[in-house]
């Protein structure tokens, strides 16, 4: 039933002379379908199966195979989600501007997968086992806002993503684990503890660098979206993020008059 609704929305938008309100309604219907789907499913399947085998040519260095199965993301069902579009104030004579906001607050999110490994490196370090890997984070927050400008004359041909801002953060959780590594419970326990320590260190680093990472990732998403929407346009590869600017700090005199130059 939902897909039929979507079909009519697309059919209606494809006809000319739609107005800004209509676009807002259409975008909101699409966003609510995404939200409902998240609510209905226990998990999102990211990749059903992945297999890697080291080539025979490098058998001296590394050999064996690794298979990952049922890579699934859990927790979105319980998330508090707000996805909505509204008419932007920046409409002008040639473009409609939609403000789109995606907000997610996920108490516990985890990635689970099955692994089957039988690897060796330089005949010294064996990595083998068949079990599960679970990577967990808590209090994941995502707040993405953006403006989408749509040409009034050519709805599909000229859509541009502008002013995308991203606020993403999370806390570590000590529930990550790996089972059956080396087919040994003790070893798996030690490795799980190590993974949890690494996740905590990553989380500390992330939160320390959060503003800069959010800025770079936000700009990257915007560039990627525009590249998909306008494959023929040249993409500006520069980043505007403040944190990427190189600053020269100098002291001019002993009275500590500081001079600052940024590029």
Binding-site string for ligand NAG from residue 146 to residue 165, where x marks contact by CB under 6 A and - marks none: ---x---------------x
Binding flag, residue 184, ligand NAG (CB under 6 A): yes
Of 9-17, 26-34, 127-135, 182-190, the segment contacting ligand NAG by CB under 6 A is 182-190
Binding of ligand NAG by 128 (CB under 6 A): no
Reported for 171-174, long-range contacts at CB under 8 A and 24+ positions apart, including other chains, are 171/137, 171/138, 171/139, 171/203, 172/137, 172/138, 172/196, 172/199, 172/200, 172/202, 172/203, 172/204, 173/108, 173/110, 173/136, 173/137, 173/138, 173/199, 174/200
Residue 43 exposure: Cα atoms within 13 Å on the Cβ side: 14
In the complex, least distance from residue 185 CB atom to ligand NAG, rounded to whole angstroms: 7
Which one of residues 1, 40, 55, 93 is an interface residue with ligand NAG (CB under 6 A)? 93
> C-alpha angle 197/171/216, rounded to 5°?
100
Only segment of 5-13, 21-29, 31-39, 184-192 that touches ligand NAG (CB under 6 A): 184-192
- The smaller minimum CB distance to ligand NAG, of residues 95 and 172, is found at 95
Q: Does 16 bind ligand NAG (CB under 6 A)?
A: no
Q: For the chain, what is the radius of gyration of the CA atoms?
A: 24
Strand partners, 206: none
Q: Which stretch binds ligand NAG (CB under 6 A): 49-57, 179-187, 198-206, 239-247?
A: 179-187
Question: Looking at 130, 145, 203, 207, which residue binds ligand NAG (CB under 6 A)?
Answer: 145
Residue 175 has a CB neighbour count (10 Å cut-off) of 15
* HSE-CB for 172 with a 13 A CA cutoff: 15
Decide if residue 103 touches ligand NAG (CB under 6 A): yes
Q: Taking the complex as a whole, how short is the minimal distance between the CB of residue 132 and ligand NAG, in angstroms?
A: 18
Give yes or no for a contact between 44 and 72, defined as CB atoms under 8 angstroms apart.
yes
The residues of the shown chain that bind ligand NAG, judged by CB under 6 A, are 92-95, 103, 143, 145, 149, 165, 167, 184, 186-187
């Amino acid at each position: 039933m939902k897909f039929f609704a979507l079909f009519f929305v697309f059919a209606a938008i494809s006809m000319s002379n739609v107005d800004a309100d209509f676009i807002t309604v259409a975008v909101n219907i699409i966003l609510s379908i995404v939200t409902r789907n998240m609510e209905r499913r226990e998990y999102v399947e990211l990749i059903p199966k992945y297999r890697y085998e080291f080539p025979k040519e490098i058998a001296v260095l590394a050999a064996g195979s690794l298979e990952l199965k049922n890579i699934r993301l859990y927790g979105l069902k319980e998330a508090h989600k707000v996805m909505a579009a509204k008419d932007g104030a920046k409409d002008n004579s040639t473009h409609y501007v939609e403000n789109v906001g995606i907000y997610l607050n996920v108490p516990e999110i985890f990635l689970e997968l099955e692994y089957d490994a039988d690897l060796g490196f330089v005949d010294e370090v064996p990595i083998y086992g068949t079990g599960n890997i679970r990577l967990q984070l808590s209090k994941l927050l995502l707040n993405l806002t953006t403006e989408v400008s749509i040409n009034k004359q050519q709805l599909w041909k000229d859509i541009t993503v502008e002013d995308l801002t991203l606020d993403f953060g999370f806390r570590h959780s000590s529930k990550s684990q790996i089972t059956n590594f080396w087919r040994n419970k003790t070893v798996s326990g030690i490795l799980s503890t190590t993974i949890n320590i690494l996740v905590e260190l990553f989380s500390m680093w992330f939160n320390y660098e959060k503003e800069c990472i959010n800025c770079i990732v936000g700009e990257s998403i915007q560039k990627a979206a525009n590249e998909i929407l306008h494959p023929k346009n040249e993409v500006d590869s520069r980043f505007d993020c403040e944190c990427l600017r190189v600053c020269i700090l100098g002291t001019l005199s002993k009275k500590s008059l500081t001079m600052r130059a940024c590029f």
